[in-house]
Amino acid sequence: MRPWFPLAVAFAAANFSPYLTPLILGAVSDSLDLSPDQAGLLTTLEFAGLGLASLLVATAVHRLDRRRLTLLGAALAAAGHLFAVIVDSYAVMLPARFAIGVGEGVLLAATNATIALSAGAARVYARCIVTTILAASVGYAVCPSAIAAWGHRGAHGCAAVVLLLALAFIARRSHPAGAPPRERGTGPAIARWLLGLTLLVTLSDGLVWPFAERIGRTLGLEGETLGWMLGLSLAAGLLGAGAAERLGTRFGYLRPLLLGLWGTALAGWGMANAGAPATLFATTVLKNVTILFFFPYLLGVAAAVDRSGRTAAAVTGAMPLGVAAGPWLGGLIVETAGFSALGWGGLGGALLATGILLRARGNLGRGGHGC
């Protein structure tokens, strides 16, 4: 078995529910008859739990047994999804979704800290993202039928099955991942730059992507058609992750990061302002290609500047915190100004992120062996 494959399984399991956010948000909205801001808050709580748990784990991941953390996170997330299957109350669903996020955060932080110790971490991240896209694409093909039959129970049931299968696979691994060797971490300045960049980019993405299903509904698309459209657009993201895996760091980090940043921001604007199903499909494809090109470089530079794994784990925590604010804030924006306003928020976030990235260029160059 390839040494990166168990990491890819854990990475995909932790991201399965977040990647299926548009379907889960839509299913819960319809089953519990929620407003956009109520449904957005549920997603926000899941991502907040993911981010806070990841940041907490990041502070001690260099001295903890990462295999045990992986098992603990997968078990907690699976249990949370199973509990959500039987929940019919919005008030009870709120803490359930937060608990799901906590489990995903523990699982993802432990996995990312392990990847940070790998040779060619950016390429390993790209392979993990490719695995995640494949798993999520299958989810987009299968879950709409489960949702049509059982509503939000079908959506959470699909996620629970994926996590339980991953848990069983990880438990059978023959090479436990204990605490990594202690190495001196990166300085606080570069860590702050990376965390700020991560928060802005993921907030920009989180404003638009969770509402892709709702935008499609306004254009006349229905459940299974939307599922296939979103699934195919996510599968197209293989091109972005595959390009990152093939290119590696031959062009450094700065240019790929800027390309991915602005590609996804412009695509998000196009999604929010789509006037026809074909336009929505094209822009969701572009968004997934560019954001999934961007993430391996972001995680790769976090690994390059800090071989202890703590910065990579912290970036893992910052990602969902940025995304967490998106669904709730996006719901308020939609209620006030409609879907088209979401794209402008994304462009503003990209502009601020560009300023941070350019200001941090010197630090990235020293820590990442050339920017």
Give the range of the structural domain holding residue 62, as residue numbers without chain letter.
5-367
Predicted local confidence at residue 100, as pLDDT = 97
Are 155 and 146 in contact, with CB atoms under 8 Å apart?
yes
* Highest mean pLDDT of the ranges 165-169, 210-214, 251-255: 165-169
**Residue 67 token pair:** 């295999």
Residue with tokens 């808050």: 41
Conformation bin of residue 263: beta by default, left when phi > 0, alpha when psi is -120 to 50: alpha
pLDDT digits (tens, 9 = 90+) for 271-285: 999 989 899 999 999
- State yes or no: pLDDT of 255 exceeds 60: yes
Question: How does residue 76 score in pLDDT terms, banded at 50, 70 and 90?
Answer: very high
Q: How many CB atoms lie within 10 A of CB 119?
A: 7
Of 118, 108, 111, 121, the closest CA to residue 300 belongs to 121
Higher pLDDT, 169 or 231: 169
Q: Express each pLDDT in 138-182 by its tens digit.
A: 898 899 899 999 999 999 999 999 999 999 998 887 444 444 444
Residue 38 is inside which H or E element, if any?
A: helix 36-58
Percent of the chain whose predicted confidence (pLDDT) is above 90: 33
Neighbours of 172 (CB within 10 A): 8
Give pLDDT, residue 8. 92
Give residue-wise pLDDT tens across range 332-361: 888 888 888 888 888 888 899 898 888 777
Whichever domain contains 272, its CATH number is 1.20.1250.20
Between these two residues, 210 and 55, which has the higher pLDDT value? 55
99: exposed, middle or buried (Cβ count in 10 Å: 0-12, 13-18, 19+): buried
| Total number of domains in the chain | 1
